[in-house]
Structure 1
Amino acid sequence: MAADNVMAIEEDGLRRAYFRAVHCDNGCETIRFRFYVKLNGKCKLFVTNASGGGAYGMYTADVPGSNIFKIIYKSSNFMVIYAIYMEGEHSLDHTRLTLALGTGRSMSEEEREKYEELTALCNISPQNIRYLTEADTCPD
């Protein structure tokens, strides 16, 4: 995962998440995510739905704050999502993220390169990428 505000995804950051499942329903009109967030060192499970897709491929998710996202790359076992979280009442208070989601616990070199390339295209520094597999101690 990467963010323009890297503090948001550091340990105990508000947007640091450990994903477990992504389910696409109704031709991807709805996408369901299952993930953990560590709060005070404890893993808290979240299950959230996102709706949208449509002509522009934009989704909104029912998470704290306002969230919109788009799947910017998808293969049979790997996807990259670009997301914007509105943190406050003003549109300038936001965090932009990219998320790499896939099957298994590691990325191939090709997937890693693709993710870094797409993160840079989203104007997020590849230096802000945090690979979370080793830090993930939440249940499966």
Structure 2
Amino acid sequence: MKVLLLALVLGLVYGELPELTPEQVDGDWRTLYTGADNVEKTSEGGPLRAYYRHMECTPSCENVTLSFYIKFGENCTLITIVGQRTPEGSYSIYAEETGLSTFQVLPLTEKLMSVYNVNVDPEEKTTHMITLIGKDTTVTEEQLQEFYQLAEKHGIAKENIQDAVPTDTCEP
């Protein structure tokens, strides 16, 4: 039931999603900015603060594999997950610790993407989050402003967005 609800919400938010291609997705990525409507989830040390490292998809992008670090104190734990495409074009995963996540990968440029995620944790609290990832750590002011607008479109206030680059001390 949760998957259907999340799919409906994401379908209403985005309408029809663009088809992803391996050329857009495959490669090494870094978390640049992240934010949520529940800031404690994406603050440093929060359970949804992910430091992206690599992403790839199957030839038809039916599955997207994400590798990222989660930090607990100074310890970085590498996690690899596989999201399966839903009929609406988003991706869905379940992790016992964090619950059900339905996410969308939105290519912005060749070197920048946004990942919008709706997470329902084991206590059934819903968190909407957005992350800007890049092939390097360079973002123009114009690109950052566009990301803020995209975040606000999804109910995430600009003041809830944090620069993740200074806190990413995990291995490259």
Please report the TM-score for the alignment, with normalisation by the length of structure 1.
0.89
Alignment correspondent of 2:11 = none
Letter in 2 for 1:114: E
Alignment correspondent of 1:3 = 36
Structure 1: gaps spanning 5 or more residues: none
Alignment correspondent of 2:129 = 97
Q: Runs ≥4 in structure 1, deviation > 3 angstroms?
A: none
| Higher helix proportion | 2
Alignment correspondent of 1:132 = 164
Letter in 1 for 2:170: C
Distance 1:74 1:45 in 2: 26
Are the counterparts in 2 of residues 28 and 53 from structure 1 also a CA contact under 8 Å?
Answer: no
Larger CA deviation: 18-27 vs 64-73 = 64-73
Letter in 2 for 1:79: M
What is the CA-CA distance between 1:74 and the residue it aligns to?
3.3
Distance 1:25 1:108 in 2: 31
Distance 1:45 1:95 in 2: 22
What is the CA-CA distance between 1:41 and the residue it aligns to?
2.2
Alignment correspondent of 1:30 = 63
Please report the TM-score for the alignment, with normalisation by the length of structure 2.
0.74
Are the counterparts in 2 of residues 18 and 136 from structure 1 also a CA contact under 8 Å?
Answer: yes
Q: Which structure is richer in relative contact order (CA contacts within 8 A, separation 6 or more)? A: 2
Within 5 Å, give how 1:116-127 maps onto structure 2. Answer: 116-127=148-159
Q: Choose the corresponding residue for 1:59, options 79, 91, 97.
A: 91
Q: Aligned residue pairs: how many?
A: 137
Q: Choose the corresponding residue for 2:146, options 104, 114, 119.
A: 114
Q: Kindly, what percent of the aligned residue pairs are identical? A: 26
The Cα RMSD (Å) is 1.6
Q: CA deviation digits over 1:70-91, x for unaligned, max 9? A: 124432111112101111253x
Distance 2:123 2:44 in 1: 25
Alignment correspondent of 2:18 = none
Structure 2: gaps spanning 5 or more residues: 1-33
| 1:13 aligned onto 2:22 | no
